[in-house]
């Protein structure tokens, strides 16, 4: 009877406890749901921020692509203008001989002009002499004719004939008169001949003057041709050089714009990386409230197997087999998680996740075919094998750089499930600060027999390089 009472009491106590605890469990569940809902809202805001940053990044990339295309066109213009300038310089060099020949022709023409000018001076001198002599003879002949042949005067011809005393004297006087008339005729003929000489000399002078005028016209043409050639070539060259300077100014302007856009791109990348890291923390925090079972097999296509094997090789080609399985486990855990895409390709190609994919390394390996070890590791994790339930991995340097509180080192990578950071210790004001030591690069992994692509920037311990900040969307 006592045992029955005790059992009954126990039942009542248990019932009371259940009744009392039930509201508490409901309260906890509601609180947990509210926390998850709040975290999801934070994640959505962060995703919006990332989406906006990605939009700005795309616009900036498009602007950079456009400017680079314009810059290439300008460079092509500069190249063409330089070729044109070289051709003009070559043309000027070709004109140099032509100018020399023209200068020689001008010099010859000037010498010929000098000779003709001297001849004209000589001819004019001879013409003056003949003209003066002719004029003098004509004057003397006129005086003689006037005194001899005109009536009147003591020596008139008629008086000379009439004064003859005898026939013989008359004959003598007649002979004298005839001789005098012949002499006069001779002088008249000489004057006429001199007049002809004057006409010839005048014709020669006129011919020489025409010749010198022709030389002058030829010289004027040659000088005009010389001036025209010089002005034309110099004008073209000046115009081309001005165009080259203008195009070079454009290039400098493009370079300045591209530098500014490059700074903007780096700032956007930094902001995006920070937002991605923040989103990773938010997702990890939410997942820690309801830890998911990410194990089990996956029905993968042949293409997905290739993607997974190539990514394992790109990220851990030089690692141990366990390291390869660990990388493959992270990818498969994400496929199974509600916080990431639910396909292998979707996880690998998710924006800002795997640097090896962004750099083109994964697709390069796919084109050649992943090695057999990485293919085997991919098959194992697809079949359900896992090395931990990790959702994130990065190099040890960056795990420490971000202050990740708990991680497991497998090879050169730090693997972890929750993005929980350590609280940084406040510096002791009494201790003199010492310069931070330079980060020690991670040891190079031993390569496998199959040649590996060149490691990407994210594989080193340089804080300025890329770093795996795996984050995802639901």
pLDDT (average), residues 289-293: 72
pLDDT of 95 > 70? The answer is: no
What's the pLDDT band for 443 if we cut at 50, 70, 90? very low
The span from the CA of 18 to the CA of 21, in Å, is 5
Least confident segment among 22-36, 196-210, 257-271: 22-36
| Percent of the chain whose predicted confidence (pLDDT) is above 70 | 73
Please answer whether residues 125 and 119 qualify as being in contact, where contact means their C-beta atoms are separated by less than 8 angstroms: no
What's the pLDDT band for 77 if we cut at 50, 70, 90? confident
pLDDT (average), residues 443-468: 37
Q: Which residues pair with 410 in a beta bridge?
A: 413
375 vs 446, higher pLDDT: 375
Q: Is 89 helix (H, G, I), strand (E, B) or coil?
A: helix
pLDDT (average), residues 293-321: 91
Residue that the structure tokens 């001789």 belong to: 179
163 vs 349, higher pLDDT: 349
DSSP of 132-143, one letter per residue?
A: HHHHHHHHHHHH
- Which secondary-structure segment (H or E) carries 398? helix 396-401
463: number of Cβ within 10 Å: 10
Predicted local confidence at residue 458, as pLDDT: 37
pLDDT tens by residue, 334-343: 999 888 888 9
Q: Is 160 helix (H, G, I), strand (E, B) or coil?
A: helix
Show the tokens assigned to 4: 């029955």
Task: Name which of 350, 345, 356, 342 is nearest 458 in CA terms.
Answer: 356
pLDDT of 427 > 70? The answer is: no
The span from the CA of 278 to the CA of 292, in Å, is 21
Q: Is 218 left (phi over 0), alpha (psi -120 to 50) or beta?
A: alpha
Q: Which residues pair with 409 in a beta bridge?
A: 414
pLDDT (average), residues 232-253: 83
Specify the pTM.
Answer: 0.46
pLDDT (average), residues 132-157: 66
Q: Which residues contact 145 (CB under 8 A, 6 or more apart)?
A: 184
pLDDT of 333 > 50? The answer is: yes
pLDDT (average), residues 129-138: 79
The span from the CA of 74 to the CA of 422, in Å, is 53
Predicted local confidence at residue 425, as pLDDT: 55
The span from the CA of 466 to the CA of 272, in Å, is 12
Please answer whether residues 398 and 349 qualify as being in contact, where contact means their C-beta atoms are separated by less than 8 angstroms: no
The span from the CA of 356 to the CA of 446, in Å, is 18
Predicted local confidence at residue 362, as pLDDT: 94
The span from the CA of 391 to the CA of 417, in Å, is 5
417 vs 109, higher pLDDT: 417
pLDDT (average), residues 236-243: 82
**Mean pLDDT rounded to a whole number for the chain:** 75
Q: In Å, what is the CA distance from 359 to each residue of 124, 125, 262, 395, 458?
A: 97, 99, 18, 17, 10
pLDDT of 36 > 70? The answer is: yes
pLDDT of 226 > 60? The answer is: yes
Predicted local confidence at residue 470, as pLDDT: 47
Predicted local confidence at residue 156, as pLDDT: 60
The span from the CA of 180 to the CA of 267, in Å, is 128
Show the tokens assigned to 193: 């001949």
pLDDT (average), residues 244-268: 87
What's the pLDDT band for 160 if we cut at 50, 70, 90? low
- Which secondary-structure segment (H or E) carries 413? strand 413-416
Show the tokens assigned to 28: 């906890």
pLDDT of 261 > 60? The answer is: yes
What are φ and ψ of residue 208, in 5° steps? -65, -35
Predicted local confidence at residue 161, as pLDDT: 64
Residue that the structure tokens 């010749």 belong to: 211
């Amino acid at each position: 009877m006592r045992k029955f009472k005790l059992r009954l009491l126990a039942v009542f106590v248990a019932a009371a406890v259940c009744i009392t605890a039930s509201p508490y469990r409901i309260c906890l569940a509601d609180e947990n749901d509210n926390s998850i809902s709040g975290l999801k809202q934070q994640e959505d805001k962060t995703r919006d921020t990332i989406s906006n940053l990605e939009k700005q990044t795309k616009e900036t990339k498009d602007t950079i692509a456009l400017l680079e295309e314009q810059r290439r066109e300008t460079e092509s213009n500069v190249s063409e203008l330089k070729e044109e300038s070289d051709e003009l310089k070559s043309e000027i060099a070709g004109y140099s001989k032509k100018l020399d020949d023209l200068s020689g022709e001008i010099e010859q023409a000037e010498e010929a002009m000098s000779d003709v000018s001297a001849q004209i001076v000589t001819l004019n001198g001879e013409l003056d002499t003949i003209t003066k002599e002719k004029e003098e003879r004509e004057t003397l002949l006129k005086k003689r004719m006037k005194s001899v042949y005109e009536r009147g005067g003591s020596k008139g011809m008629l008086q000379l004939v009439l004064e003859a005393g005898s026939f013989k004297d008359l004959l003598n006087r007649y002979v004298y008169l005839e001789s005098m008339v012949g002499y006069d005729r001779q002088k008249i003929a000489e004057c006429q001949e001199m007049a002809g000489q004057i006409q010839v000399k005048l014709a020669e002078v006129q011919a020489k003057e025409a010749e010198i005028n022709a030389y002058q016209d030829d010289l004027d043409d040659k000088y005009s041709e010389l001036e025209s050639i010089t002005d034309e070539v110099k004008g073209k060259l000046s115009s081309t050089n001005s165009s080259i300077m203008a195009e070079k100014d454009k290039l400098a302007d493009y370079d300045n714009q591209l530098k500014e856009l490059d700074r903007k791109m780096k700032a956007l990348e930094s902001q995006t990386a920070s937002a991605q890291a923040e989103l990773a923390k938010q997702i990890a925090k939410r997942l820690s409230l309801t830890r998911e079972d990410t194990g089990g097999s996956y029905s993968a296509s042949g293409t997905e197997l290739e993607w997974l094997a190539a990514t394992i090789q790109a990220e851990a080609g030089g690692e141990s087999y366990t390291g390869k399985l660990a990388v493959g486990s992270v990818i498969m855990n994400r496929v199974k998680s509600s916080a990431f895409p639910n396909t292998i390709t979707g996880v690998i190609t998710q924006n800002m996740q795997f640097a090896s994919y962004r750099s083109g390394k994964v697709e390069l390996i796919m084109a050649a075919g992943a090695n057999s070890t990485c293919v085997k590791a991919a098959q194992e994790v697809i079949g359900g094998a896992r090395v931990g339930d990790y959702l994130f991995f990065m190099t040890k340097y960056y795990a420490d750089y971000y202050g990740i509180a708990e991680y497991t080192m497998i090879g050169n990578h730090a693997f972890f499930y929750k993005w929980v950071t350590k609280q940084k210790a406040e510096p002791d004001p009494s201790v003199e600060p010492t310069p931070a030591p330079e980060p020690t690069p991670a040891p190079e992994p031993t390569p496998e027999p199959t040649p590996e692509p060149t490691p990407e920037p994210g594989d080193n311990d340089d804080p300025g390089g890329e770093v795996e900040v795996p984050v995802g969307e639901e």
